[in-house]
Amino acid sequence: MKELSKYQVKCKIIKGDNVMIMVGRSKGKTGKVERVDRKNDCVYVSGANIYKRHQKPDTKHPDGGIIEKPMPVHISNVMVVDPKTDKPTRIGFRQDTEGKKTRFAKVSGTTL
């Protein structure tokens, strides 16, 4: 595994988590995490934080026009949604009886 830099913290949010955006233009929207950018501490959430970009015609977009582009959200501005209560929650780690490290929701105690 790649070493973390001095300023990067361990990321508790992973790809596929259902998260809620807590601040910004898309506040209150929920969606799945499509991608986690560990270098910039950002996540890409499907259906949230979509910006419109004016695109000149090129080989990828021969007609050009206005395209919708998902933009990243800083990892501190999202919270994982608890599957039991459907409310945002913090994430904790604990070890199973076999010694495996698992994530759990701090609100309800359910494993993720």
Domain boundaries, the chain: 11-81, 83-112
Q: What is the pLDDT of residue 110?
A: 86
Strands (E), 1-112: 18-21, 30-37, 42-45, 50-55, 65-70, 73-74, 78-81, 88-89, 91-95, 101-105
Q: Which residue stretches of the chain have pLDDT < 50? A: none
Domain 11-81 CATH class label: mainly beta
* Whole-number pLDDT of residue 7: 63
Classify residue 60 as exposed, middle or buried by CB count within 10 Å of its CB (0-12, 13-18, 19+). Answer: exposed
Q: What confidence score (pLDDT) does residue 98 get?
A: 86
